[in-house]
Amino acid sequence: MRTHFCGLIDESLIGQTVTLCGWADVARDLGGLCFIDLRDHEGIVQVVAEPEQGVEGNAEVIATAAKVGYEDCLHVTGEVRRRESPNAKIKTGQVEVVARRIEVLNKAEPLPFHAHENPGEDIRLQYRYLDLRTPEMQRKMRTRTKLVQALRRWLDARGFQDIETPILTKATPEGARDFLVPARMHPGEFYALPQSPQLFKQILMVAGFDRYYQIARCFRDEALRADRQLEFTQLDMEFAWVSERDVQDTTEAMIREVFKEVIDVDLGEFPRMTYAEAMRRYGSDKPDLRIALELVDVDAQVKGSEFKVFTDWAGVDGGRVCALCVPGGATLSRKQIDEYAAHAAKYGARGLAYIKLSETGEVSSPIAKFFGDEQFAALVAHVGAGNGDIVFFGAGQYATVSDFMGALRLKAGKDFGLVEAGWKPLWVTDFPMFEWDAEEGRYVALHHPFTAPAVDDVDGLRANARTAVSRGYDMVLNGNEIGGGSIRIHRTAMQSAVFELLGIGAEEAQAKFGFLLDALRYGAPPHGGIAFGIDRIAALMAGTESIRDVIAFPKTTTAQCLMTGAPSPIPDAQLAEVHVAVRPKTAG
């Protein structure tokens, strides 16, 4: 239907006849002279319908143009000429198309919103096809496409094999709740949608495929937020006969080259930092290194004070007392400080102590009275505070304090304009093998149950489970975890021991993971891998906070698709075919 794209019409085509298809972005009737900004996915070009002597059918063209409305679908044939008044804001701004024929392929009814408006997200998602039609959403989605294409080219050129794994699989506990699918041919039994291809890619290493990848769809039935969806896409990779550094060096090179190709950004070398150091300095296992602020431990400086909140936790095993100095923070009002306290409370803080130093050195602090003059001065000096600064303090269990002080660090960095421009990548390594779940009274895997411990000794792992370090690693970029992986357990005895420490008995392990345990018995090679979040990387490349902006048809935070109305009730007859009945919701 067309010879050229609207957004690619340029001066090289002057004097030529072109045929275009697109939507009327703007239509202006000036009384016998009509201008239409015609838009397709490549951009906009100006179409002119004007009276010309000796041009047969010209009056009909003008009449058609005069009736064109916003977002009408058009088919236009005309001659390219140079514009008298160029428009430097668009790629095609040096030329225009003089219409010889205009066909309205489909009239658009009045739209629920215009492209230049900023409607609420619910409206955008309900009319997603209109939202995706806008130039900004087209740009974001094309960035995602370029990302996936670049990743495939890189991997294909280096001998990685693209192998699909099942979507209908066995329910296995991997950290989140499974989506279950009733099996019509097996009454009372269910498939699960994969949380990841984890077990299958390990099986592929046992099978001798050596280097695997897949742009994989994954499903997790968990609470949603801006950076989480029920269904998401990851680049899944696995390598045989590798160490941590082999995986890290290969994938680091890939990400550097892909960022350069897609958005012309040089990420440079990736520094490495242990999990323990990241939590100590930044209160996060995915620290945003663009913010120079760091947490400072003050256990020794507060031990002799009379402030019980501090002394109860200072020097205690599993406790932490630390400070965050915010340069220029003395400008915060009491109301704003209360807002910081409320923000910290979301992450587990029970209160937020502070010291505020005015530009003249005057101290404003609810905790100063609990310290002697020399001790207070030593505390202020230790955290590096000066006139005009504010210092926030946290005390409590190590993990909780790290969480809320890390959250304060991010908020202060953004509020005070301390986020450095550019890109800051990082490898975080040496994660704990387990976390202790006090409510359940058992260990849980920090990564997943198939991550290898740093110690290659079953008895040693059992004896030191609480402090055991794993062979896991994450790639972090600007405070976002964009990839995570590990060296896997490749021996049955070690895998069985890890299951046991996680409270998964031998019978349950065989029922849920028997196929993996069996595979490890038959010469499974050492192997490891990583998975990268395509949605998150695409969002970073496109410059947007929410991954919903780079997913064509995302769910809302209430797990709904507003465009299709999913989820929706299913007729009883259809449910009966899969041997399922819906129980009525009980009160309370």
174 among annotated binding-site residues: yes
- On the question of pLDDT at 163 being above 90, the answer is yes
Which segments of 348-449 are extended strands (E)? 353-357, 363-364, 390-397, 425-429, 434-437, 442-445
Q: Is 221 annotated as a binding residue?
A: yes
- Estimate the crossing angle of helix 534-542 against helix 135-156, to 10 degrees: 130
Q: Terminus-to-terminus CA distance in the chain, angstroms?
A: 60
Strand ranges inside 441-496, DSSP E: 442-445, 472-477, 480-487
Place of tokens 């291809």: 197
Rounded to whole angstroms, how far apart are CA atoms 27 and 74? 12
- Annotated ligand binding at 158? The verdict is no
Q: Does the pLDDT value for residue 586 go beyond 80?
A: no
Q: Is 536 flagged in the annotation as binding?
A: yes
Give residue-wise pLDDT tens across range 560-583. 999 999 999 999 999 999 999 998
Sheet holding 295-297, edge to edge: 295-297, 319-326, 390-397, 353-357, 363-364
131 is in an annotated binding site: no
Say if residue 534 carries a ligand binding annotation.
Answer: yes
Bridge pairing between strands 425-429 and 272-274: parallel
For 37-97, give the DSSP string.
Answer: EEEETTEEEEEEE---TT-TTHHHHHHHHHT--TT-EEEEEEEEEE-SS--TTSTTTTEEE
- Please compute the mean of the pLDDT values over residues 82-91 and round it to a whole number: 95
Q: Is 488 annotated as a binding residue?
A: yes
537 annotated as belonging to a binding site for a ligand: no
**CA 551/CA 567 separation, integer angstroms:** 18
244 assigned binding-site residue: no
Report pLDDT for 226.
64
Q: Is 491 assigned to a binding site?
A: no
Backbone φ, ψ for residue 469 (5° rounding): -105, 140
State mean pLDDT over 303-317: 94
What whole-number distance in Å separates Cα of residue 255 and Cα of residue 252? 5
**341 and 349 Cβ atoms separated by less than 8 Å:** yes
Q: What is the pLDDT of residues 331-390, one digit of tens each?
A: 999 999 999 999 999 999 999 999 999 999 999 999 999 999 999 999 999 999 999 999
Q: Residue 58 — pLDDT band, cuts 50, 70, 90?
A: confident
533 appears as a binding residue in the annotation:
yes
In this prediction, residue 117 carries a pLDDT of 78
**Mean pLDDT of the region 494-514:** 93
Q: What is the pLDDT of residues 431-451, one digit of tens each?
A: 999 988 877 788 888 889 999
Name the E strands within 358-461. Answer: 363-364, 390-397, 425-429, 434-437, 442-445
